[in-house]
Chains A and B, each alone.
Chain A
């Protein structure tokens, strides 16, 4: 017994050493091999649940270039100043220690579907029986010529991937003199986190109301109207931030003049501001697009919703924000976590010769902070429809908050702690 424990401990510490050194240490044990690209809400959840539900029988290797997990949900509170980046930064250690996932700190350069092999920047090749691609989004910079000029992206931030950009945007807002304008652009839907831009406007306005009361927030939205929780956001803007937030719909951004901090639109006048926050149009992450899986408008990856297997490439599953969504399914962290579990169950079933669940059901919950404390939510339940072969919302289910309230602010924090643990611990 003692010997066995020593062996296990030695194995564990070797695994940790490999991780710390950033070495590619592909899973070498017995059993089918799954490689996961990307350890965000989708990929990390899939990795953990495949290990749990296969009872360790399936080897899981996760390729993730970032050393730590930084949560996009709650990152608007860092921009508003009520949280710090360290509050939303989490370790991948439990995936390794508790669940026996092999983490590889590297980037994918190529997926060879015929050979079932992933090639990494370091030159390492990882073979797989099934591959899970959860790359999130990348930005369509080609639609904004001015943002491709040298250093443009180091001066105007999107803050739509939590991390350095979140902190940089916060610093710009902090150093802006009172009386300035913060102008943010919202891309045409679909994009990551539908209510996110409107929550961010509230967070910046909340900060202005306390620290810079003469300053303004202008939301320039490419969409015809607020894309999520519209009446609730508009109520918050009218009641809480009447002289601070101005909302302008139907503003399709065409270019950014970084030197003069000017936004240019298809049909509207230019807008100049002290701080620009450009949230560009989005598509599936590069690794999925480059592999040829972005078959919907060349932007999003179509999948079979029973397994999340790509409709373009066999044995490759795509999760999270990168997929062509089902009707009324948001691109959210909560949904990516649900994709991860639904896919994990299917992958374990496929690798062990068991039937795939013919009736997936899962839900979405999205909380938005309209101040540092008060929160509104939108919820939905999604069930597989065998006739239409997609996920549809269950009639009569779901809804929004009656009004912004502090109780849901506490639930939102509970949600964060729980989804972080469900994804990573």
Chain B
């Protein structure tokens, strides 16, 4: 009985690790990221008056977004929009923009 619980726990742990390691479909991430481009430019290359995201390190974008989300960084609009995305989605989108040419 004890052993069975242990095995079940190990399987559960394992599946959690797999889920965490599994990166989302790149095409899905591309679509999520495209929802930012109305303001931040196609593939993150912005016109004047907005911040470009293309080529910005993923860690920087992620930190900024999580700060907006937590209310640590003041904003006019990004504190509202960042709350619509999970931390994992934010990290994936940040990775997409980091890989784009400036």
Interface residues of A (CB under 8 A from B): 49, 52-53, 334, 337-338, 341-342, 345, 349, 354-355, 357-363, 365, 377, 379-383, 393-394, 396-399, 401, 405, 407-408, 410-411, 413-415, 417-422, 425
Q: Which 5 residue pairs across A and B have the least CB separation, nearest first?
A: A381-B84, A414-B49, A397-B84, A362-B35, A394-B84
Measured between beta carbons, the chain B residues less than 8 angstroms from A360 are 31
16 other contacts beyond A379-B77, A398-B84, A418-B37, with CB at 8 A cut-off? A49-B34, A52-B42, A341-B37, A362-B35, A365-B39, A365-B77, A379-B81, A381-B84, A397-B84, A398-B80, A411-B49, A414-B48, A414-B49, A418-B41, A418-B46, A419-B39
In whole angstroms, how far apart are the Cα atoms of A408 and B49 in the complex? 11
Q: Which residue of B lies closest to A415 (CB)?
A: B39
Distance from B13 Cβ to chain A, minimum over Cβ atoms (Å): 26
A-B contact count (CB 8 A): 109
* Cα-based distance from A398 to B85 in the complex (angstroms): 11
> In the bound complex, do residue A397 and residue B46 qualify as a contact, i.e. CB atoms below 8 Å apart?
no
Tell me how far the C-beta of B70 lies from the nearest C-beta in chain A, rounded to whole angstroms. Answer: 12
Q: How far is the CB of A387 from chain B (nearest CB, A)?
A: 18
A414-B25 Cα distance, complex, nearest whole Å: 31
- Tell whether A361 pairs with B85 under 8 Å between CB atoms, given A354-B27, A414-B48, A418-B50: yes
Determine whether the beta carbon of A418 is less than 8 Å from that of B32: no
Knowing A338-B35, A381-B83, A418-B38, the reply to whether A359 touches B28 (Cβ < 8 A) is yes
| Chain A residue nearest in CB terms to B83 | A397
Contacts of B38 in A (CB 8 A): 334, 337-338, 365, 415, 418-419, 422
Report yes or no: B30 in contact with A414, Cβ–Cβ below 8 A.
no
Assess whether A363 is in contact with B81, with CB atoms less than 8 Å apart.
Answer: yes
In contact, A399 and B34 (Cβ under 8 angstroms)? no
CA distance A358 to B76 in the complex (A): 31
Q: Are A341 and B31 in contact (CB under 8 A)?
A: yes
Q: How far is the CA of A360 from the CA of B85 in the complex (A)?
A: 11
Across the two chains, which residue of chain B brings its CB closest to A53? B30
User: Are the C-beta atoms of B28 and A394 separated by less than 8 Å?
Assistant: no
User: Which of A341, A349, A381 has a CB less than 8 Å from the CB of B85?
Assistant: A381
Hey, which bits of chain B sit against chain A, CB under 8 A? 25, 27-28, 30-32, 34-35, 37-42, 46-50, 76-77, 80-81, 83-85, 89
A-B pairs with beta carbons under 8 Å apart, 13 shown: A49-B34, A341-B34, A349-B27, A359-B28, A365-B77, A382-B84, A394-B84, A394-B85, A397-B80, A415-B50, A418-B39, A418-B50, A419-B38
Q: B40: which A residues are within 8 A, CB to CB?
A: 418
Docked pose: A358 CA to B81 CA in angstroms: 21
* Most-contacted residue by chain A among B37, B40, B80 (CB, 10 A): B80
Q: Which of A357, A365, A397 is B28 in contact with, Cβ under 8 Å?
A: A357
Say whether B35 contacts A377, CB under 8 Å: no
Cα A419 to Cα B35 in complex, Å, equals 11
* A421 in complex: contacting residue of B31, B41, B81, B89, CB < 8 Å: B41
Cβ contacts under 8 Å, B80 to chain A: 379, 397-399
In the assembled complex, the CB of B90 is this many whole angstroms from the nearest CB of chain A, namely 11
Taking CB as reference atom, which chain B residue is nearest A333?
A: B38
Q: Please, which residue of chain B has its CB at the minimum distance from the CB of A345? A: B31
> Taking CB as reference atom, which chain A residue is nearest B38?
A419
Task: Report how far A399 CA is from B80 CA in the complex, Å.
Answer: 6
Interface contact B81-A381, CB-CB below 8 Å: yes
**A383 x B84 contact (CB < 8 A):** yes
Task: Compute how far the CA of A360 lies from the CA of B35 in the bound complex, rounded to whole angstroms.
Answer: 9
Alpha-carbon separation in the docked complex, A351 to B47 (Å): 32
Contacts of B34 in A (CB 8 A): 49, 341, 345
- Given A341-B34, A365-B38: A418 in contact with B49 (beta carbons within 8 A): yes
Measured in the bound complex, the distance between the Cα atoms of B82 and A125 in whole Å is 46
| Interchain CB contact under 8 A, A394 and B83 | yes
What is the chain A residue whose CB lies nearest that of B36? A363
If A49-B34, A418-B47 touch, whether A377 touches B77 (CB-CB below 8 Å) is yes
B83 touches A396 (CB 8 A): yes
Query: B42 — nearest CB in chain A belongs to which residue?
Result: A422
A410 and B50 CA atoms in complex are apart in Å by 10
Select from chain B the residue with minimum beta-carbon distance to A362: B35
Tell whether, in the assembled complex, residue A341 and residue B35 are in contact, meaning their CB atoms are under 8 Å apart: yes
* Interface contact A401-B76, CB-CB below 8 Å: yes
Residues of B within 8 A of A393 (CB): 84
Contact A398 B31 (CB under 8 A): no
Most chain B beta carbons < 10 A, residue from A341, A398, A407:
A341
> For residue B77, which residue of chain A has the nearest CB?
A379
C-alpha gap A417/B40 in the complex (Å): 10
Task: Decide: A342 and B31 in contact? CB cutoff 8 A.
Answer: yes
Cβ contact within 8 Å between A361 and B35: yes
Shortest A52–chain B CB gap in Å is: 8
